[in-house]
Amino acid sequence: MEHTIKSNTRNLSLECCKLLAACFVVFLHIPFPGIFGQIVLCLSRFAVPLFFAVSGWFSYGASPEKLKRRFGHILLLELVGDILYVSWRCARDYLAGESLYWCLRYQLPDAQALKMWLLWSVDPFAGHLWYLSATCLCYFVLWAYTRLGRKGYKGLYIPALALLLGCFAMGEFSKFTGIRVDYRIGRSGLFTGLPVFLQGLFLRQYRQKLSAFGLPLVLSGVALSILEWKLLGSYDLYIGSVLTAAGILLFTSRYPDVPGWLAKAAASFGSISTLVYLLHLLLQEIYGHYFQYSIEMQFGTTEHWLRPLLILGASLILGFCWDFLRKRSKT
C-alpha cells in the first residue's frame, strides 16, 4: 500500500531535527578536540543545509506577500544579532579602558566588508550570521520569480543544480578543477544557500513520490560525508551533507509524529533552534572572556571537552527560557 503524507499534520519530528541540527551547529563552530572532534565536525555539516532546505520546503506555494514578510523577519533577526554582537564587544572593550568612540569605530565595516556582505552574504559583525543573509537572498529570488507570474518552479531547478555544482567545484573538488577562490564565495547565499533552498522546494513538490527514499538518503549521506572527509579533506559542504538534509526532510514528512510525551515540547523546538543558532557564538565569546581561564585552571585539558557542552547547555537554557517567557506573555 502506498504511504500517503498528511500535509495538514504538524511535522513535529522535523521540529526535533531542527533542534538537533542547531546542536550540531554549536559543535561545528566549537568543536571537540582530537579525532572524535573531527568526526563530529564532519557529521555536523548537514545542519546548515537542513536549515536552508527547510526554508525552501515551507516556501512551496507561498505568495509574494508571505515571502516578503519572511524576508523582513529574517532580515530583522540578522540586524538584532548584529546589534547584540556589536553591543557585547563595545561593552567589553569599554570596560577594559577603551573609549566608547573607538569601540564603535572599530566595529564599523569598511567598504570591502560591505561589498562582501552584499555580494556573498558575509556578515561583517558575526561570521555565522551569513546564513541569515543567504536566506534573505533565497526569499528575494523566490519573491521576484513569483512576482513575474511564473507557473510552477521547474524553471528554477536547473539553475539551482548548476549553482550547486559550482559550489562543489570551488570546494571539495577544487583540487581536481583547479578553481581557487575565497571559501566564503562558495559558502554564500548564491552558491550554497539558494541551490539547497530550492532543493527543499523541489522535495516538497515531489514528496509523495520521493518520501520512501528518506531513510536510505540519510544513511547514505552520513556514510558519504565521512568518506568525502577522509578522501578529500574538510570543507564547508559535502555531497553527503546535502543528501543527509534531503533525507531528513523526506523521512520526517513521511513520519511527522513524535511520542506523546515529547509533542508539547517539540512544538517549540523550531523557534528555540533559531535562538541557539543566533546566540551560541556570543555565549562563546562571553565564556572565553570571563570563564574559560578559571575552568582551565580547575579541569586542565578537560576544558576543551567541556567547552562545547557548556556553550550548548547555556544556549539551550536561554532558548527554553525565552520560549517560556514568550508563551507566558501571550496568556
- Three-class HEC string of 35-52: HHHHHHHHHHHHHHHHHH
Euclidean distance between the first and final Cα of the chain, in Å?
44
Residue 145: burial class (beta carbons within 10 Å; 0-12, 13-18, 19+): middle
Amino acid at 214: G
The secondary element (H helix, E strand) that includes residue 222 is helix 214-232
Most distant CA atoms of the chain, gap in Å: 71
- Distance of CA 273 to CAs 101, 152, 157, 191, 226, Å? 35, 31, 28, 24, 25
**Is the pLDDT assigned to residue 330 strictly greater than 90?**
no
Helix pair 12-29, 239-254: axis angle to 10 deg: 160
Positive or negative: CA dihedral 167, 168, 171, 177 = negative
pLDDT (0 to 100) of residue 136? 97
Helix pair 239-254, 214-232: axis angle to 10 deg: 160
Average pLDDT, the chain: 93
Which residue in 179, 184, 145, 182 sits closest to 165, CA to CA?
179
Tens digits of per-residue pLDDT, 270-289? 999 999 999 999 999 999 99
Contacts of 38 (CB under 8 A, 6+ apart): 31, 229, 234
Question: How far is residue 12 CA from its own chain's centroid?
Answer: 19
pLDDT (0 to 100) of residue 248? 97
Contacts of 89 (CB under 8 A, 6+ apart): 103, 107, 285
Which residue in 313, 309, 315 sits closest to 279, CA to CA?
315
Tens digits of per-residue pLDDT, 72-85? 999 999 999 999 99
Amino acid at 176: F
pLDDT (0 to 100) of residue 103? 87
Most confident residue range from 95-104, 243-252, 263-272: 243-252
The pTM of the whole model exceeds 0.85: yes
Q: At 100, is the pLDDT very low, low, confident or very high (cuts 50, 70, 90)?
A: confident
Distance CA 3, CA 167 (A): 35
pLDDT (0 to 100) of residue 7? 47
Tens digits of per-residue pLDDT, 114-144? 999 999 999 999 999 999 999 999 999 999 9
CA R_g for the chain: 20
Rounded to an integer, the average pLDDT of 224-245 is: 95
pLDDT (0 to 100) of residue 9? 61
Q: At 151, is the pLDDT very low, low, confident or very high (cuts 50, 70, 90)?
A: confident
Tens digits of per-residue pLDDT, 8-60? 467 999 999 999 999 999 999 999 999 999 999 999 999 999 999 999 999 99
Q: At 326, is the pLDDT very low, low, confident or very high (cuts 50, 70, 90)?
A: confident
